[in-house]
Amino acid sequence: MSQLMMRWSIRIALLAWLVALPMSSGLRGQTPAASALPLPVERTGAELYRAACAACHATDGTGAPRSLVGFALPLPDFTDCAFTSVEPYADWLAIGHQGGPVRGFDRKMPAFGDALSEEEILRTLKHIKDFCEDPAWAPGDLNLPRALVTEKAFPENEAVLTTTTGGSELGAVTNEVLYEKRFGSRNQLEVAVPLSLKESTAGWSRGLGDVKVAVKRVLHHSLATGTIVSAAGEVVLPTGKESLGLGKGVTIFEPFITAGQILPRNSFIHAQAGVEVPADRDLAVPEAFWRGAIGTTIEQGRFGRAWSPIFEVLGARELESGQRVQWDLVPQMQVTLNKRQHLMINAGVRIPVADRGERRAQVITYFLWDWFDGGLRDGW
């Protein structure tokens, strides 16, 4: 090799080394393992779940044993559809993001808001939801806020105490206890027991009103379209003394259809239509009714108290020639009371607008307890 070639090859090697030096020092910040991996890919819900949640909730979603987690607090069983299907994503996102205490649960359920994006938490929650393998259970996202009068389509586990005052020129107060319980994946049984205090020309009377028993069944639900439709059959029993104005004095059958629809921006509608058919046509006239409610939910701060203004329109008409439609409007406000949001109240006024006749405005309030989500003292 000539001297000249030797000098040139040294110069080229030197140059190559000078060029390579900053590049290799740039790489030095990375761990060899990371630089050897392919570009980062989006982690699936299952991967995120296994990495972040399975230590406590177990890979199969049933909850890791006490000996492994080191605490006695029972873990939920995510394979139990009765539990997993009814919880809306919004509540679980709050828990996954902020930790258990945001919904009045234990702080052993950690907050992942700093470690995972909301998108990643939602993907993980989808994986948890999939532990329930029976699609017959309607998702809790379709459980829309309950209006004062219009019956909703979602099958519930709840107790509602409704107080109604006014309605006529004379005094009247009715307290109704309603108990609802789900059975099977699609059905719900309900019993309503009213206790009334009524004024008549003969004075005040007090007693049991007409007890109602109903069965409801979900016919269709779809989270993709935000729709739920149910059919129900109700029987009103003549347990209230008609002579004292406490009841209608006749058994009434009341079949109805009810539907709920999610609208954009946390809004929703309920619609219900049915007929009241008395067992004895001589004692009462059949009546058709239709009801609609539109509302929206406003969160007080991120993951805070939920306020739901709702507006109902109620129509009813006795199925006899010459009868007019009775229209009522019911503006109202529902608000959650505690962090768990399973206790709430609603208050509104039922205002007759057409064919008022003897009818006067009524003040209606309810206290609602979603007993499946915890006791009255839980979740504050």
List residues binding ligand HEC (CB under 6 A).
Answer: 52-53, 55-57, 73, 75-76, 87, 92, 95-96, 100, 105-106, 108-110, 112, 124-125
Which of residues 63 and 348 has its CB atom nearest to ligand HEC in the complex? 63
Q: Which is nearer to ligand HEC, 77 or 199 (CB)?
A: 77
In angstroms, rounded to a whole number, what is the distance separating the alpha carbons of residues 145 and 164? Answer: 19
DSSP, residue by residue, 139-170: PGGG-PPPPSSSPPSS---EEEEEEEEESSSS
Can you say whether the dihedral through the CA atoms of 283, 152, 295, 172 is positive or negative?
A: positive
| 50 vs 360 by CB, closer to ligand HEC | 50
Q: Kindly state the smallest distance separating residue 269's Cβ from ligand HEC, in Å.
A: 26
Tell the smallest beta-carbon distance from residue 73 to ligand HEC (Å): 5
The minimum distance between CB 91 and ligand HEC, in angstroms, equals 6
Closer to ligand HEC by CB, 110 or 249: give it: 110
Q: Which is nearer to ligand HEC, 108 or 206 (CB)?
A: 108
Helix (H, G, I), strand (E, B) or coil at 367: strand
Give SS3 for 83.
helix
For the chain, first and last CA: distance in Å? 88
Cα three-residue angle 309-314-319, rounded to 5 degrees: 170
- Pick from 334, 346, 339, 333: nearest CA to 373: 339
| Cα–Cα nearest to 196, from 221, 173, 164, 229 | 173
Q: CB-wise, 53 or 293, nearer to ligand HEC? A: 53
Enter the tokens of residue 165.
């005052």
Three-class DSSP category at 276? strand
CA distance 8 to 87: 75
Tokens standing for residue 351: 């205002």
Q: Minimum CB separation from ligand HEC for residue 81, in Å?
A: 14
For residue 223, give the DSSP letter.
T
Q: How far is the CB of 88 from ligand HEC (least distance, A)?
A: 10
Distance in Å, CB of 160 to ligand HEC, minimum: 21
CB of 265 to ligand HEC, least distance (A): 25
Comparing CB distances to ligand HEC, the nearer of 101 and 309 is 101
Our measurement of the distance from residue 227's CA atom to the centroid of its chain's CA atoms, rounded to an integer in Å, reads 13
Nearer to ligand HEC, 54 or 345 (CB): 54
Distance from C-alpha of 252 to C-alpha of 235, rounded to nearest angstrom:
6
How many C-beta atoms lie closer than 10 Å to residue 313's C-beta?
16
Minimum Å distance from CB 70 to ligand HEC? 9
